Amino acid sequence: VIKCKAAVAWEAGKPLSLEDVEVAPPKAHEVRIKIVATAVCHTDAYTLSGADPEGCFPVILGHEGAGIVESVGEGVTKVKPGDTVIPLYIPQCGECKFCKNPKTNLCQKIRITQGKGLMPDGTSRFTCKGKQIYHFMGTSTFSEYTVVADISVAKIDAAAPLDKVCLLGCGISTGYGAAVNTAKVEPGSTCAVFGLGGVGLAVIMGCKIAGASRIIGIDLNKEKYAKAKEFGATECISPQDFKKPIQEVLVEMTDGGVDYSFECIGNVGVMRAALEACHKGWGVSVIVGVAAAGQEISTRPFQLVTGRTWKGTAFGGWKSVDSVPKLVTDYMSKKIKVDEFVTHTLPFDKINEAFELMHTGK
C-alpha cells in the first residue's frame, strides 16, 4: 500500500480537501500510476457541484493526467513499471462489439463499474481516514498515485512533457477529434464554434488543420477572442452584441448558414442555436459539451427534414489506446498545438485555485 497526497471531494458543493490517502496495489489487469501532472476540466466541476446523477462521494476526481507506471497487476502485458502513460476515461478493450465497430470509440467493457466509481471487480483502491473513497471516470488523477484498469491506459513517448500532454487525456483530444473525426470538416468549409474554452480552441485547431476557410468563434467573454484567433478563428462574435438570435446572425453572415457548427459549452439553448445556424441541405452540427442531467434538446423537426444533421461526440471519436500515443507523436512533431492551451501551472496544493481560475474563464 502506498501512502500519498490526494485531493478528496468529501461531499458535493464543497472545495476539495488535500488528504493523506492509502492506495492499494493493483489487482489482476490493473495498473498503478504515479501521476506527474493533471489538468482540471469542467466535467470535474460538474460532478463536484452535485449536478451529476452518477456522482458519488467521497471521491477523488480528475481525468486529464499523465504519469509513470509504478507497478502492474497479474496478467498486464501492455505496460510495465517505468513506462510513461496517460490514463483513459474511455477505455479500449479491443474485444467488445463497440471496440470492434469502426463507427464508435465507446468501449463498454467496464462502463457499469466505472459509472459507480469502482474498479472492474466492484471495489475501490483508495481509503482515507478509514473510509472507502470512490474512483472517478476510471482515472482519479487528483492523487499522487492512482490505480486504473489495464484497458484504460495508453503508453506514450517517454520524451513527452507530462505537464503538457496530460491535456490529451480529455480536452484537446475531444475538441480536435470533434472536428476531424466526427464532423470530418472539409477544406474550404465554413465553421462556427460556440464556446471558446479549451475544448472550443481545440475544435478551432481541428477545423484549421482540416482546411476550413472561415472559422467563426462565438463567446460572451471577449477576452477569449485573441486566443481563439491565435488558434485559427477568422472572426469572433458575441450574442450580446445583436438584437436577433445568434443563429439568424450566423445565417446572414454566411449566406445561408455554416457547413459545420460545434457546441462546446453544454447549454441546450446553445445546442439549438448551433444546429439552426447550419446551412440547409448539408449543414452538420456536433454536440461536444455535456449538458446537465435531465435537460433536453429541442428544435423544429423541419430543421432536420431540410437536410441538417445533428451529431454528438465523446472524446472526439478517438479509439483511446490506439489514438492517444499518436496524438502525443503529432504534438511532438508540432502537427498539433498543446503548450498554447496551458494558461497557468500551479502546485498540487493550489488545486482549488485552479478551479476558481476555470470558473472565472481565465
DSSP per-residue codes, 97-120: HHHH-TT-----TTHHHHHTT--T
Is the residue at 362 inside a domain?
no
Residues 8 and 143: beta-carbon distance below 8 Å: no
Same domain, 133 and 184: no
Which residues have C-beta within 8 Å of that of residue 73, sequence separation ≥ 6?
25, 26, 27, 28, 29, 30, 31, 150
Could you give the CA distance from residue 136 to residue 133 in angstroms, rounded to a whole number? 10
DSSP letter at 271?
H
96 lies in some domain: yes
The mean pLDDT value of the chain amounts to 97
Estimate the crossing angle of helix 42-49 against helix 351-359, to 10 degrees.
100
Is 90 exceeded by the pLDDT of residue 109? yes
Asked if residue 105 and residue 147 are part of one domain, the reply reads yes
Residue 359 falls inside a structural domain: no
**How many whole angstroms separate alpha carbon 335 and alpha carbon 106?**
26
Q: Using CB atoms within 10 A of its CB, is residue 171 exposed (0-12), middle (13-18) or buried (19+)?
A: buried
Domain count along the chain: 2
Alpha carbon distances (Å) from 63 to 152, 171, 206, 226, 348: 11, 10, 22, 28, 15
Say yes or no: 16 and 93 in one domain: yes
CA-CA distance, 223 to 188, in Å (whole number)? 28
Q: Residue 338 belongs to a domain with what CATH number?
A: 3.90.180.10
Average pLDDT over residues 159-163: 98
Predicted local confidence at residue 54, as pLDDT? 82
Judgement on whether residues 13 and 129 belong to the same structural domain of the protein: yes
Share of the chain above pLDDT 90, in %: 96
Burial category of 4 from C-beta neighbours within 10 Å (exposed 0-12, middle 13-18, buried 19 and up): middle
Strand, helix or coil at 276? helix
169-201 per-position pLDDT tens digit: 999 999 999 999 999 999 999 999 999 999 999
Average pLDDT over residues 266-291: 97
Instruction: Find the domain containing 21 and state its range.
Output: 2-169+319-353
- For residue 217, being part of any structural domain is answered with yes
> What pLDDT sits at residue 289?
95
* Whether residue 52 has pLDDT greater than 90: no
The pLDDT value given to residue 122: 98
Asked whether residue 15 falls in the same domain as residue 147, the answer is yes
Copy the grid coordinates of residue 201. Answer: 480552441
**Residue 271 φ then ψ, to 5°:** -60, -40
- Residues 205, 264, single domain; the answer is yes
* CATH number of the domain that residue 206 is part of: 3.40.50.720
* Model confidence at 270: pLDDT above 90: yes
53 band by pLDDT with thresholds 50, 70 and 90:
confident
Give me the pLDDT at residue 292, please.
86
Same domain (yes/no): 30, 148: yes
Reported confidence tier of residue 51, pLDDT bands at 50, 70, 90: confident
- pLDDT of 361 > 90? The answer is no
Residues 134, 270 within the same domain: no
pLDDT tens digit string along 304-336?
999 999 999 999 999 999 999 999 999 999 999
Q: Do 241 and 108 share a domain, yes or no?
A: no
Do 242 and 346 have their domain in common?
no
What counts of helices (H) and strands (E) characterise the chain?
Answer: 12, 15
Q: Are residues 307 and 331 in the same domain?
A: no
DSSP-assigned letters across all residues of 295-311 = ------THHHHTT-EEE
Q: Does residue 52 belong to any structural domain of this protein?
A: yes
Q: Is residue 69 part of a domain?
A: yes
* Residue 202's pLDDT band (cuts 50, 70, 90): very high
Helix residue ranges per DSSP H, 232-265: 246-253
As a whole number of angstroms, the distance between CA 310 and CA 151 comes to: 30
325 and 297 fall within a common domain? no
What is residue 18's predicted lDDT score, i.e. its pLDDT?
Answer: 98
